[in-house]
Chain A
Amino acid sequence: MPPQIKQDLNRSGWESTDFPSVCENCLPTNPYVKMLKEDYGAECKLCTRPFTVFSWSGEGRSHGRKKRTNICLTCARLKNACQCCIMDLQFGLPIVIRDKALELIAPGPQSEINREYFAQNNERAIEEGRAGVEEYEKTDEKARELLRRLAQSKPYFRKGREFDEEGNPVHGSPSSSGSALGGNAAVGAGVGGPGPIRSRDSRAAAAVGARPGGGRKGPLGTNAPPPGPKDWLPPADQTLMSLFVTGIEDDLPEYKIRDHFKAFGKIKSLVVSHMTHCAFVNYEMREAAERAAAECKGRAVIAGCPLRVRWSQPKAIGTMDKEERSRMLRDGRSAFSGAKRATGQQKTIEGGNVQAGQTSTSSQELADLTVAPPPGGDDVQYASLAGN
């Protein structure tokens, strides 16, 4: 034990302990751990007060490097974290994530002296059994709440009703209204794989809280024709190796688009602007670009997001005004509005047992439609986001 210096007012917050509070992962497998203890060896990384530092050599994994405690015992108790790796003791989460997601305790003051004061007060409270414990009694409840909330969550941005892969609107039946009206959560997070395709729809948008008819049928509305051969036939200019993709939603990450388009050949660069809802895929070889255009047939679905693909000369896409941006978003959907009409038409025609050439070709196009491959094993699957 070091000499007690509690009498010294300036050093009253200095902590001397006999044993660290460390999680299982930080300790070596051998239960006989040799630790070095140094009183007031360093300042706590959270409250900046001196504390007793323990260090030991983590075996194997750390390759001869020493592990040591980084935060003082008071802070560790207050945050319910490991002194070494600063991870939550219950779920093994980083404490930042736990505190934000479970909304357990406020992060505390930011300035140095306030932090010290905060820690001092809490230390006293813990000694008297007033604080530090009760918040974490609620962890279970909060964890359940979080799971429930995410299970019936709506996407974080406004979006419309989804369409299935044939372009038929998925009707939210009253029984399954919970998920259907809010838009499929899988689609919302962009992790749902192929699955339903979203579309703007005034009814569905109204269901998720949008104003009805909010600028959807304007002069720039969805009067872009459905993709035709001119969209995917290779242009005469042989130096052109870029495809222009529109309709990118805010939650569609860049790497998913890359994964989809790199199947056709090596990508030189992929420029995605989420703000303007469009992207450029620049291939290294002309053949790859031609293959991609031919396979896509003017449209693609990535993580439920309908996209329109066409040839274009590369240009700056980050500089668009508001009108143009919303046009880009609607443009992606226009690729599928045509498909929807075609299938609807085909249904009626099939009823009458007539085969029109035009409809059969468009249904053929739909069959050829390239859809992003289902997410692989490395893709995190949130059970709550898998629908229902």
Chain B
Amino acid sequence: MSIWIPLIKIAVIIGTILNSVIVLVWAERRVSAFMQDRIGPNRVGPFGLLQSFADVVKLVMKEDIIPRNAYKVIHDLAPIISIGIAFSTFAVIPIGNSIELFGENVKLQVADVNVGILYILAITSLGVYGLTLAGWSSNNKYSLLGGLRSSAQLISYELSMGLSIIGVLMIAGTLRLDQIVELQASYIGGWLPAWNIILQPVAFITFVVAAFAETNRLPFDLPEAEPELVGGYHTEYTGLKFGLFFLAEYANMITSSAIIVTLFLGGWHFPYIENLGISPFWLSLLQVGAFCVKVVGVLLFFIVIRWTLPRFRYDQLMNLGWKVMLPLTLANVMGTGLVILAWPWIRNLLGLT
């Protein structure tokens, strides 16, 4: 396989993420406005769609201020870490089945890694460095507090995130994300899609909660809780570097939604479509479309939740993480294991084939 195909895939994925971040920011502002009986940005371009472009131009033109006592190298490095991690997580997510293009069988996945899930967990764990280093290098009390909070929060919720994935892994028996999706493309009893949300509801809920915490979205946005911490870890950032943090937050949201869709909502699987007899090429494209629709759905859920729930207090956050989520995920792993062990026996009992 030539070197060009992966490069094109990378370019397409990064371009798509960057553009969807812009649309996502606009969508967030419009949806939140509608939920508060307002109208929201509607002046720049049709329906205000170009508002985010105007904001990007503004951010780029702004002066980049670095505090005198900041650690300059790390202050510059932190947003780059954040954004790099937000993009690189997307590399292993299969956005569709393989597709026949110019006589070559192209997998719709940038990197076909055989430890896909481990890669995601490892990379998202690095994300904490971006926030913590940003907080620390700014040499500002509030930034430091925000950075510390983010590290404590991310470490706490990483555990339940990892443990909730284990249930999925035990069912799938593989770490490859494309195979996990393929396994979900079957049917239980011939009609119910075997998506992991049905097989692993508890894992789904805990994973979604952990994903909210990992992306610092609202019920868990303590690292940048503005009433307490001014701006949290990015208090001392301006212009393009602040823009990078902003971009990273939204790119993280897209990546998390894609992971949720891949692991629990059947990935690119569009129920019953394979029986219609569409040609493989169009089938693959439709599946990519299905994946995008699902991701957009989860993103809207993220947005709507943000404007519905109030922020947790810090002790509530830790209580939820350690006293509720962790035991729940452990119990889920235990339960899944028992069911898998007893599965031959249950099957005989129910008379299934």
Bound pair (A, B): no
The interface of chain B, by Cβ under 8 A from chain A, is: none
The interface of chain A, by Cβ under 8 A from chain B, is: none
